A and B are shown apart, each in its own frame.
Chain A
Amino acid sequence: MSSYKELELLRFSTAVSVDDGKSTLIGRLLYDTKTIFEDQIKSVQETCDRKGLQELDLALFTDGLAAEREQGITIDVAYRYFSTPKRKFIIADTPGHEQYTRNMVTGASTSNLAIILIDARKGVLIQSKRHAFISSLLGIPHVVVAINKMDLVDYDEDIYNSIRNDFVDFSSKMNIPDLSFIPVSALKGDNVVDRGENMPWYDGYTLLSYLENINIGADRNLIDFRFPVQSVIRPNQDYRGYAGVVESGVVRKGEEIVVLPSGIKSTIKAIDTFDGELDYAFAPQSVTLLLEDEVDISRGDTIVRPNNIPAVGRDFEAMICWMSEDPFDVNKKYIFKHTTQSFKGKVNELYYRIDMNTLHRQKTSALMLNEMGRVSVRTQKPLFYDSYDRNRATGHFIMIDEMNNNTVAAGMIMTKPTDISELPPEDTGV
């Protein structure tokens, strides 16, 4: 008999260039947790034989598209899955070289945790800093730095400590609530799933036991109740329910609520689901709310508590990541999609961009593909938003080009005025 075990879901992202062994690390995690099946191993083994490789190349398990296998690179974000008796994991596996910003930002947007890989022979390079910066900007609560290829530096504790100190130094001004370090060899397997015998001086978690054990329950915002209405469910005259996701916070039957933008107040009559009514609902549950009063509510409205309302406004500042081949045009109107609202809007001012090679900020009049910049935005109608650092769920938006419908940018709303404190320190290492 197999018993059903409730597993917690942890989403994490990885990035950094192929040389640093990222694909090998993921391959190792999948291989050592027995996630890779024998027919898949057989197919990779055949490829290795054809290429004349001596050992099984674990990186080959993570190449998805034909073009990637041809070129030996990873182009796009790939999602991978594995589970252990403790947790189910979703990996957003992002390439570190081509299109790195766009892909890293995409992978980071849904992650609770980021693994930053550092080559022990090379120390903290710009790409690690870039990844730390993006993780911090995207509000990832947990960052674990895996110092890899320890086998190539004789498993030297001093090298590990020195890299660790460097990293702590440069990241001290970033917003990384939980930072950890683990010395590993993805190739040999030390401290990935199994501890190995080569680093007796290290008595912390292995990477997998860290992933299995960190507390992620406190990552959600359970304070600020926000319920953007997705759609109205009205099967008959007697039933009028508002369907959506509790994006943050908790809501209880009998509580007083207010609807934005109308400002009309009412009380929660019921929290309905297919499986029956609930006394309370919390983020990120999909539920249907019924109100005591007949109120005119439609998609795009947001239900909140009267004593805890988000910012309401047409003007806000944000950090955006430009994701399109077409350059950003300050004079052009774009569609801003935020929770269940979509409005036209434009960027009023581009304050600066971040040079992703140095992490310096620079005055600029344009943003190109894979660049990030600080902007002020004006939308046609008011959005109901929170600052991204307070509420990941209601502080982000995407920009869509009206002509070709492409998603051209991702944005994080910043309510603090532009200042230097959000920026990483001056970079001199590269």
Chain B
Amino acid sequence: MSTNECYEMDHLSALESESIHIIREVVAEFKNPVMLYSVGKDSCVMAHLARKAFFPGKLPFALMHIDTGYKFQEMYDFRDQYAKDIGARLIVDSNKQAIKDGAHPSKLGTDKCCGLLKTQALLDGLEKGGYDAAFGGARRDEEKSRAKERIFSFRDDFGQWDPKNQRPELWHLYNGRVNDGESIRVFPLSNWTEVDIWQYIRKERIPVVSMYFAKKRDVVERKGVLIPVDKNTHLEEGEEVREVECRFRSLGCSPCTGAVPSEVRNIDDLIEELQQARNSERENRVIDMGSDSSMEDKKKEGYF
């Protein structure tokens, strides 16, 4: 063995290598995979890893965005530009009927609104495309029910997850066998944490939506959460619009995504802020606040 070789691997390289292996396994074993792309930071990292996995080839699957119509304009612009830049095929799907009927969390409540605009749109989109595998950027450290989900997570022919009856998953041997109509949701970022994601974005210089960084934004305060004011906001009586210097830690639909007060303007400061953070990433996500098992219930029905 040569003496000047080094076989050490830091945590980001180890996570990267694991994720690339997972992504390649899916393409090797499934007929028709698709990658869910939500425009958020995790999606950006996942798409970047997929580019690495098949370099110098192009992505051997499409990116699919489930659009609720309530994303921030900046997210739409970023999405279209990014797909163009990396030469990826972009599919945008949505529950058009529900959008036409005016579905909004202020009318339906968050659970029902998510059910229609996200879960139903996703299940319909996957069925329409005939996909047998769908990549998602969820991480196990995000939420307690996700901590128990497999990397290859089986869905029955109704797209449903049964948390109590999951396939054992050992070493890095993934069982992707399905019958017609069934599918696998694949989570290549399962073992990444929020800090890992940002450290990797910095290391790899991956572009992300600028909403993750602070600037002065118009917001209203609801139940302690700063909700940005834009065309989708239904102002309630007595609510006052204020200008606050803030940023978003995670991105969702504008009526349900809260900002956090912050002065972070670059990625070094952002990582520093996270390492000091005393609250979890999803603290500002209104949709998790329904009950103790909001996410688990949504996931059983087919939500990511």
Contacts and interface: CB of A to CB of B under 8 A. Distances in A.
Contact of B9 (A90, A110, A272, A285): A285
B52 interface: yes
Nearest to A282: B7
Nearest to A243: B24
Given A2-B268, A9-B15, A284-B14, A231 B5 contact: no
Contacts of A201: none
A405 B170 contact: no
Given A8-B8, A37-B278, A63-B144, A410 B56 contact: no
A231 B302 CA distance: 30
A405 to B, nearest CB: 4
B222 interface: no
A406 interface: yes
B253 interface: no
B24 A273 contact: no
Nearest to B143: A64
B170 A400 contact: no
Contacts of A75: 164
A396 B171 contact: yes
A79 B191 contact: yes
Highest count of chain B CB atoms <10 Å: which of A43, A106, A243 = A243
A80 B147 contact: yes
Contacts of B1: 250
B216 interface: no
Contacts of A400: 175, 177
B230 interface: no
Interface string B175-204: 101110000000000110101100100110
A90 B189 CA distance: 13
Interface in A260-309: 272-275, 280, 282, 284-286, 288, 299
Interface stretch (B76-84, B94-102, B107-115, B269-277): B269-277
B178 to A, nearest CB: 6
B271 A2 contact: yes
Contacts of B171: 109-110, 392-393, 396
B199 A4 contact: yes
B28 A230 contact: yes
Given A4-B199, A235-B57, A273-B52, A286 B20 contact: yes
> Which range contains the number of B residues in contact with the other chain?
35 or more
A113 interface: no
A56 interface: no
A8 B18 CA distance: 14
Contact of A2 (B28, B164, B172, B275): B275
B170 A38 contact: no
A64 B168 contact: no
A217 B7 contact: yes
Contacts of B232: none
Interface in B273-304: 275, 277-280, 283, 292-293, 296-297
B17 interface: yes
B21 A245 contact: yes
A252 B4 CA distance: 13
A375 B218 CA distance: 67
Interface string A147-160: 00000000000000
Contacts of B239: none
B56 A235 contact: yes
A275 B271 CA distance: 24
A398 interface: yes
B144 to A, nearest CB: 5
Contacts of A280: 2, 5
A81 B191 contact: yes
Contacts of B8: 8, 217
Contacts, number: 185
Interface string B54-71: 111110000000000000
Contact of B51 (A1, A245, A274, A410): A274
B279 A79 contact: no
Nearest to A284: B17
Contacts of B283: 37, 39
A69 interface: yes
B39 to A, nearest CB: 22
Interface in B155-183: 163-164, 166-173, 175, 177-179
A164 interface: no
A323 interface: yes
Given A6-B11, A40-B280, A396-B171, A76 B166 contact: yes
Contacts of A40: 280
A273 B9 contact: no
A69 B20 contact: no
A119 to B, nearest CB: 26
B217 interface: no
Contacts of A231: 24, 27-28
Given A9-B14, A65-B296, A76 B148 contact: yes
Contacts of A2: 268-269, 271-272, 275
A233 interface: yes
Given A79-B140, A230-B28, A286-B53, A109 B170 contact: yes
B7 A4 contact: no
A125 interface: no
Interface in B227-260: none
Interface of A: 1-2, 4, 6-9, 37-40, 43, 63-67, 69, 75-81, 83, 87-88, 90, 102, 105-106, 109-110, 217, 220, 222, 230-231, 233-235, 239, 243-245, 250, 252, 272-275, 280, 282, 284-286, 288, 299, 323, 335, 337-338, 340, 392-393, 396-398, 400, 405-407, 410
Given A81-B141, A284-B9, A284-B17, 13 more contacts: A9-B9, A9-B15, A63-B144, A64-B147, A65-B144, A65-B163, A65-B164, A65-B293, A106-B169, A233-B54, A273-B55, A286-B20, A398-B173
Q: Which 10 A-B pairs have the closest CB atoms?
A: A6-B10, A235-B57, A274-B52, A2-B272, A286-B20, A405-B177, A109-B170, A37-B280, A274-B55, A66-B293
26 contacts: A1-B268, A2-B268, A6-B10, A7-B11, A8-B10, A37-B283, A38-B278, A64-B145, A67-B164, A69-B292, A83-B193, A87-B11, A233-B56, A235-B57, A239-B56, A250-B5, A274-B52, A284-B17, A285-B17, A286-B18, A286-B24, A335-B177, A400-B175, A405-B178, A407-B167, A410-B168
